[in-house]
Chains A and B, each alone.
Chain A
Amino acid sequence: MGAKQFGARVARVEDPALLSGRGRFVDDVKFPGMLHACFVRSPHAHARIGGIDASAACALPGVRAVLTADDLPPPMDRNRMPMLVPNPAIAASLTQHCLARDEVCYVGQAIAVVLADSRYIAEDAIALVEVEYDVLPAVSDYRTADEPDAPRAHLALDDNIASKFRMAYGDADADAAFAAAPHVFTEEIWQHRGGGMAMETRAVVANSDPTSGLLTVWSATQTPHICRRMLADLLDRDLESIRVIAPDVGGGFGPKAIFYAEEAVIPAAALKLRRPVKWTEDRREHFMCATQERDQLWTVSIAVDDGGKILGVRGTLLHDTGAFVPWGIIMPYIAAATMPGPYVIPNYALDVKVVLTNKVATTPVRGAGRPQAVFAMERLMDRVARELKLDAAEVRFRNFIQPQQMPYAVGLTFRDGKPLIYDSGDYPKAQQEALRLIDYAAFQQRKAAARAQGRFIGIGIGNYVEGTGLGPYEGVTVRVLPDGKVAVATGATNQGQGTRTTLGQIIADRVGCRFQDIIMTVGDTAAISQGVGAFASRQAVNAGSSAMMASEVVRTQIIKLAAQTLGVPESDIDVDDGIAVARSGNRPSLTFRELARLAQGMPGFSLAPGQTPGLEHTAYFTPPQASYCSGTHLAEVEVDPMTGAVTIVNYAVVHDSGTIINPLIVDGQIQGGVAHGIGNALLEWMRYDENAQPLTTTFADYLIPLATDVPTCKIAHVESPTPLNPLGVKGAGEGGTIPAAAAIVAAAEDALAEFGVHFAETPLMPERIVGALRAVGAYDKLGEIA
């Protein structure tokens, strides 16, 4: 059997509906008698709640109820929300209440919910709910959150430290390496928080069917099965009486992976009021209440020999978790484990401190701690190159882990609890290829030509290794239907990744059916009993492998049944395009339709020995450990010193995500990931004032990249199949974002190298560039040039 779909640029099956307005997103779900919800949210970053008076709101015509924490069913009225990823290193294991009880700890925290006949009335009513606040001092700047006189982010805590841990290998503190090193360079690196900013905000619809007792919840989530488990706990309901559906979801990027208070409150309201209820977040709420990421302060040193070879890396990492720790300490943990990257670093020690502030919690946003780590490491590499007057690419070549060293044990434990062992990859080849793509050899000529025209261009490199394809598992059921079509169900979800297309490609080839005959259900807990969802670039690895495994079992069932029915040996049966054909004789055949009916059996008659009912199998692949994808980005930018504007003129990506299922989709993931990275590098900064009031709560204040900001990347692939799953695939969803800020900021610095400015912050805003140039007197020089 030759692969027909696997590896091909197959057009997506998701597209026709989405292109013609027939997509079905949560806000498109509608029921007769449906109520609309709007949340009363804290206007203060930290306050004690006195009384709540909802009488005026309740009196407004069209308002059906105003619910506060005490109105919620047990145990969610009093219990805090479950911690999704616990870890013994977490000192303050804090999650929030579904509706705040006595204290609010960030602006936007939900206190009450209004249920009304229309969204318009519900919004009118929230202004009429009177909440008494005793405003408390707030922690805004995480850099001073652990100082003794800092306010406390929570009344019940003695300090603001959520966790402290160390990631290290080699000699203790890397002391000996640093003491003996001829060169030690230190950088302080400050990276700011931004958001996922999916174009679809969060949304929840809940409907309890009085006949069956089934509670159905539609949520714009990456993880419907997790949502269902959380709901069962918070509502104290039997899991089987809850169905969660993630229909078309308009982008995820991480913040939709966690379980939110609103996802519990809306179902609780539907149950209490016995009416369907819808809540759709508005963009302002999304800026305040959807989780964010990337606030980290790194103080790191690198020790190198005279040739630029790394002897050790050590330092500290301070991470802002916000007011709560719903996803544990995953991002700082991943960051600390990602720092060594593709380089041989004999000694490594990083002390990590996670602090609480009065801001919305941080949880993974595309990259999850990795972009910050790569930025920190690559800034050190650029520093080494500059100080030792070496080429930036050359310094990296001198330090790469070589392909023959694979599998390579870094010496740390990764986020999956397994030793951090790179399974495969060819880092020097990826960088070599990227240098060729962008014509690095001719860059100095381009730079000189540009400079002669008064333009400033620069080039920067970002290398990374990314742990992808994390467990625990994802499942796929493959079932041949009596009409001959192939039904597929999976716990994997789709927020734009083309999950239906890629899984369909695997299944069509492996079962032997037509791609267009596959009917797939994704994101529905009723379709498959166990599921996890989309995060950590994990679905192609986990669900893809399960799709292959389930398909092969079903194909075997088809061959057995066809051989038995046609009276030929199993080895004589070919399966293709939904037909099992005997190679011998006059080539008798059976269609999937005929086989599926035979496989159902006849009432009263036993199945043949060894035959299983139906043509159906469910497989749950569980990876032995993370698979490590890698790559090199090269950014060529032009900086206008007069405005501080950075224009990306050329961008090359060489990416290794192992075997590629669909190059069209993988390239799309990379290009989109780079766009997010450009936002992180140059534009996106979720700002708060000194009282932790959010300042950037519109797309006019918080800029995300436009069509004029993002070039079409030159993309090439190195394919190092991982031995860790049967397809050889690794994740592809986050690699585009991870090294982008490192490459772009390095390129901007290189463009202005003649002025001696240095950048160690993201995003690199125009005012920062102009400020840096002003500080070094560049404008006097530029004046002379002019």
Chain B
Amino acid sequence: MATRSISLTVNGQRYEREVESRLSLADLLRHELALTGTHVGCEHGVCGACTVLIDGRTARSCLTFAVQADGCEVTTVEGLTPATGELNVLQQAFQDQHGLQCGFCTPGILMTLTELLRDNPDPTESEVRDGLTGNLCRCTGYAGIVSAALEAARRLRAQQGS
């Protein structure tokens, strides 16, 4: 099987790897770089559990080949947590608002909302719901997720304002 050497930055750390050209980015992250926070729920690009940021934009890591991320900056859920080890504002809002149950879809949802709140710091509930349509959650019925996103937006705006 053909291999290629790639180099990419994940959560600020640079990696160089020799990979099969068919290796998915999700499998690279999970099984080669030991970043198992990114989850694979359908492998056909619908469920969104594998969502990561590539150069700041959300992408399905199950449908992205690792070689496509050559030279890119990738952010995964592990990259959201501040160095102090505490939860960031969005993560904390998820705990406060019961935005997760089994937690399997959660990393992908956090990445989607990270992008959404960056681009739209004051979203309406309907904008949050629209923004979440690329992520499936089977446990929560989305109510806690939506309120966590709105609560995080409020807290982030308050931080910016202060």
Chain A residues proximal to chain B, CB less than 8 Å: 11-12, 14-16, 18-25, 27-28, 30, 119-120, 196-201, 248-253, 282-283, 495-498, 664-665, 667-668, 671-676, 698-700, 704-708, 710, 712-713, 736
Contacts and interface: CB of A to CB of B under 8 A. Distances in A.
A671 B140 contact: yes
A160 to B, nearest CB: 32
B5 interface: no
A708 B139 contact: no
Contacts of A675: 138, 140-142
A119 B31 CA distance: 11
Contacts of B98: 11-12, 664-665, 667-668
A251 B104 contact: yes
Given A15-B94, A20-B87, A21-B35, A712 B146 contact: yes
A11 B136 contact: no
Contact of B103 (A248, A253, A713): A248
Interface stretch (B53-61, B66-74, B125-133): B125-133
B21 to A, nearest CB: 11
A200 B137 CA distance: 10
B115 interface: no
B102 A495 contact: yes
Interface in B19-38: 20, 22-23, 27, 30-31, 35-38
B114 interface: no
A20 B77 contact: yes
A21 B107 contact: yes
Interface centre among A196, A700, A706, A713 (most CB of B within 10 A): A706
Contact of A698 (B46, B91, B102, B137): B46
B36 A21 contact: yes
A639 to B, nearest CB: 20
A505 B133 CA distance: 35
Contacts of A199: 39, 41, 47, 49, 102, 104-105, 136-139
Contacts of B20: 120
Chain B contact residues: helix, strand, loop or mixed: loop
Interface of B: 1, 20, 22-23, 27, 30-31, 35-44, 46-47, 49, 76-78, 80-81, 87, 91, 94-96, 98, 100-107, 110, 128-130, 132-133, 135-147
A200 B101 CA distance: 12
A248 B110 CA distance: 18
Contacts of A250: 39, 41, 102-105
Contacts of B144: 668, 671
Nearest to A253: B138
Given A21-B36, A25-B104, A496-B103, A283 B44 contact: yes
Chain A contact residues: helix, strand, loop or mixed: loop
A684 to B, nearest CB: 11
Nearest to A287: B42
24 contacts: A18-B106, A19-B100, A21-B77, A21-B107, A23-B104, A24-B36, A25-B36, A120-B20, A199-B102, A200-B41, A250-B41, A495-B102, A664-B98, A667-B98, A671-B140, A672-B138, A674-B141, A675-B141, A705-B141, A706-B132, A707-B132, A708-B129, A708-B133, A713-B141
B12 to A, nearest CB: 15
A704 B87 contact: no
A665 B97 CA distance: 10
Given A15-B94, A25-B104, A496-B102, A710 B143 contact: yes
A19 B43 CA distance: 22
B146 A707 contact: yes
A30 B31 contact: yes
Contacts of B101: 251, 496-498, 668, 672
A644 B85 CA distance: 49
A27 B40 contact: yes
A713 B20 CA distance: 47
Given A21-B80, A250-B41, A707-B130, 5 more contacts: A20-B78, A24-B36, A251-B102, A706-B132, A707-B142
Nearest to A669: B101
Nearest to B11: A21
Interface centre among B36, B49, B147 (most CB of A within 10 A): B36
Contacts of A201: 41
Nearest to B38: A21
A21 B76 contact: yes
B145 A200 contact: no
Interface centre among A15, A196, A498, A700 (most CB of B within 10 A): A15
